[in-house]
Each structure stands twice: as structure tokens, then as C-alpha cells.
Amino acid sequence: MWYLCVFYHRLLDYRKPEVQALAELFGAFGDDDKSRSLEWRLPKEYHPDSPFHFVNLPSEDIARNIANRSILVKGMHEIWGEGSCYEEMEEAIRGYPEDRKLPYLTLESTFKINIDSFGKAISSEDQKEWIKRLSFIPFKGPVNLQNPEHKFWFLETDNYGSNNGLPPIVQKRIFFGREVGAADRKLLPTYQLKSRTYIGPTAMDAEMAFLMANQGLAAPGKLIYDPFVGTGSILVAAAHFGAMTMGADIDIRVVRDGRGPDCNVWSNFRQYGLSEPISLIRADNNLPSWRAGLNEVFDAIICDPPYGVRAGGRKSGGRKLLKGVVDPYTVPEEKRADHIPSTAPYSLAECVHDLLDLAGRMLVMGGRLVFFYPMLRDEFCDTDFPEHPCFRLIAACEQILSYRYSRVLLTMVKVEPYTTEIADSAKKMHQDFRENHMKWLEEGNLHAAVFAPIDHRSDVNGDSKIISKDTKAKYRGKYV
């Protein structure tokens, strides 16, 4: 059955992958073909960036579960009629099968009609007028504005002429339908960072953390690991959805101490009444601390690696130690309790290689690796993401952070078991990737590119180029 999926008009790239992930979580594809893609279609004269999309789902229960769990679905609706003018919509509603309409129009069931528009405001007089015009629908039950059993929506988008924030090809369209489910965005004020006890400069904001947890299919019975746990924001979101969590960070002060007994990663979980992580460890992503033979433990690895714009990665061993200039340091007995080992810079290229290796080994088959990857906006191109023979990339969602810099949330599924041969070929692929594409990923380059003065920037070869402000598109969508 086709449902109209109305999205919030934000994080455009994240919307369909979220629905796709939740469709898998709620069993839309059965047991056999988990990798199947959902079928989507656009309303007439619409555009991929617009908030209205039709999606084909196997049942109303699945549609409801997806919508209620999502962060970006404003509403999932069974559409009774649509058109480019009121008359066309009315005709469609009249023609919609009675057996689909009548169960929701009974004497006993309460209802409410909501009016919503995209890109324009509808005055309260006009809203009343629209509701009157819908009186040809034989509603029999009482209206209940607070807690109706059935919610109906009259939805309208105007065309570009009235400056509605969508590309010019979008034309006026109106829809009437019954709401099947909608996101619970009240979650976001509850979990917002400004009221969280323990946060740091790179704490993940609540909306993004929930989207990441959805991409990782967080659910009861799953074990989710964040190897760069920081203040634990991503794991908080995963725990909200009932998953067991585990985290690691190279910084012992973060995982052990925080800012005191009531202001640390553990207290962040207590604050929301969530199950605490099963463990938080001090571990370096560059030196895996897992015992030999321990494989396929996690259902998902979800993380935000340190990519060097606000805080760069560190790995164990001081610079001189790594260069072999000094011998390994033996910590004297009296300093063991609070010794903080020295660290050296850890480039993103190396960090991502280690992450893919860890995920290849430690994820169950079908498990998901969800992580952020930085992109300079000029370079954005789907083929430039790191690869690993154990994984298939299933989603790449760009979030534009500034005029020149984005981060892309990559979701990968483990499709091949980890073997020594695979680990070797991954190392080779990584070397090629690093040499061919990602010079700017190396230490310092990303930071320099992001913070260079607006008009002069270096391309990947280090040559300076001038960026003209006139080249900035009026409409910032990918498909125009």
C-alpha cells in the first residue's frame, strides 16, 4: 500500500535512509531479503527535495511503527484524495473506496481535521473555510481536538511563484488523508544537550544521535559499541531505543572521571533513567585491545571519529617513541595510579582504516557500521568514500556544516566474514584510497582547508584557487 510520507524540511539527505533503516528494523522485508530497497515515488510535478514523498509499505502497522520511531517523518498518511486544485482533490476523495473510508467515519469514533501547508501560512479564516468544504465527507462521530481517535490532514504546497523554498518545478498540490503515525519530536527537547549534565565541545546533538541510532537499528537485545565515546551522546540515543551499549575512548579522563561523581558519562545515562553502558573502557582505536579469537560481538558500531577540525585524533606513543628515537617508557610504580600515557597525532586516514578493520572483525554478519566522514564540499562525490571488502555502503547522508565543509554519515552493512586475506586486501585498498583521493585528509590539511580565508583555498594538489561568492546557488539542493 502506498502512504504519503511527509518529512520535516531539514536534513534532506537523511530522510529516506532513515525510513529505509526503520523499514528493515520493523520487518518490512521479511527474513529473506533484508537488503531490498523501498519503493518511492514523487507526487505529480514534485521534486526530490520536497517534503512530500509516497512510499510503498507492506502494512499499516509497519507504516505506523516507522513513523512513530522516526525523527524526520512529520506524518505518514493514507491519502484519500489529492489534486492540483480543490475540485480535483474532492473528486478523488469521493472516488476513494468506501470500505477504506467508512471504518474511520463511524458514530463512535472521535476525529480531528488538521490543516497544514508548506512554504506559506493559511489564516484561521481560510482554515475554517477548508474544513467547511470538507463537510461532504460523511463524518458521523464527535470532534475531539485534544485526543482524537482518528486524525485527518489537509495538506497544501504552493508553487515557486509564491516563494515556498522549493525548486521552481514544484507546482501546487493538495492532499487529504488519514494519519497513520508521526514522529515524536518531544524526544528532542528532553534529550537536548543544553540540559545534559556532562557535555564536551564535540558532543553529538540529540537529533543527529537519534538518527545515527536509527541507522544502526538500535533495539532491545542489540549490543552497540562506540569506539570514540567521548561524553556518550550517541550511546545515550541507542540506550533510549533499548539497546545495550559499550564505549571506549583514548582519554582516560573522559571515560573514568568526567567532571566528578555526578557529572560523567554514567550520570548522562542516569539523568534519563536509561540502562547504563555495560562497560566503558580506555582504549586506543589504533591498538585494538580485544583478545585474539574474540570476533563478531557487536550488532552495530556507531561513532563520530576525531577528524581534526575541532579536535584531532591521538594515538598511543609519543612522537619520538613512534619514530624510534626513544625507548618505550616504563611507568614508575608510584606514578601508576594516575599516569596519563603520552600520545601522538592520529590522522583521519589511519583512524578510518583502523575503524573499518575493527568493524570487519567485531561486527556480527549483517551488523552495521555507522560513522561520520568529513568532506570538503567541492569534492563531494559518492565514489570518494573509504571501502572495505567486508562492507556494502547502503547510505551516505550529507550534512552541510559550512560553505565549504560537510560531514557525511556513512552506513555500511557487513556482508562478508572477516578473514586474514580480507584484512590484507583492505589494507591495500586503503593505501590506494589514501594515495589517490584523500591527500587533504592527512594531518592538518582538513583543518587548513576549512579555516582558510573565504576567497583563497587550496585544491587537493595544494594549488591556490579563487572561490567567487557569485557561484553560490540560490537554491541549495543537490538535484537542481
Where along the sequence are the contacts to ligand SAM (CB under 6 A)? 200, 202-204, 227-228, 230-231, 233-234, 248-251, 254, 284-286, 304, 306, 313-315, 346
Sheet with 279-282, strands from edge to edge, namely 279-282, 244-249, 223-226, 298-303, 363-376, 405-414, 391-400
- Specify the amino acid at residue 97: P
- Chain position whose Cβ is nearest to ligand SAM: 230
DSSP 302: E
**Cβ partners under 8 Å of residue 315, min gap 6:** 250, 284, 285, 286, 287, 343, 344, 345, 346, 350
What are the φ and ψ backbone dihedral angles of 42, each rounded to 5 degrees? -95, 150
Using CA atoms, how far apart are residues 261 and 181, in angstroms rounded to an integer? Answer: 41
DSSP 257: I
Query: For residue 250, how far is the Cα from the chain centroid?
Result: 25
Q: How many residues does the chain have?
A: 480
Residue with cell 595510579: 337
User: Which grid cell sits at 294?
Assistant: 574474540
Residues 360 and 414: beta-carbon distance below 8 Å: yes
Q: Which is nearer to ligand SAM, 12 or 206 (CB)?
A: 206
Using CA atoms, how far apart are residues 450 and 276, in angstroms rounded to an integer? Answer: 37
CB of 330 to ligand SAM, least distance (A): 22
Q: Which is nearer to ligand SAM, 50 or 233 (CB)?
A: 233
Cβ atoms < 10 Å from Cβ of 346: 22
Residues 203 and 226: beta-carbon distance below 8 Å: no
CB of 306 to ligand SAM, least distance (A): 4
**Cβ partners under 8 Å of residue 344, min gap 6:** 314, 315, 316, 317, 318, 319, 321, 322
In terms of phi and psi (left: phi > 0; alpha: psi -120 to 50; beta: otherwise), the region of 146 is alpha
User: Which grid cell sits at 193?
Assistant: 544537550
Residue with cell 497513520: 180
Using CA atoms, how far apart are residues 428 and 443, in angstroms rounded to an integer? Answer: 20
Using CA atoms, how far apart are residues 145 and 151, in angstroms rounded to an integer? Answer: 9
CB of 351 to ligand SAM, least distance (A): 7
What are the φ and ψ backbone dihedral angles of 82, each rounded to 5 degrees? -145, 165
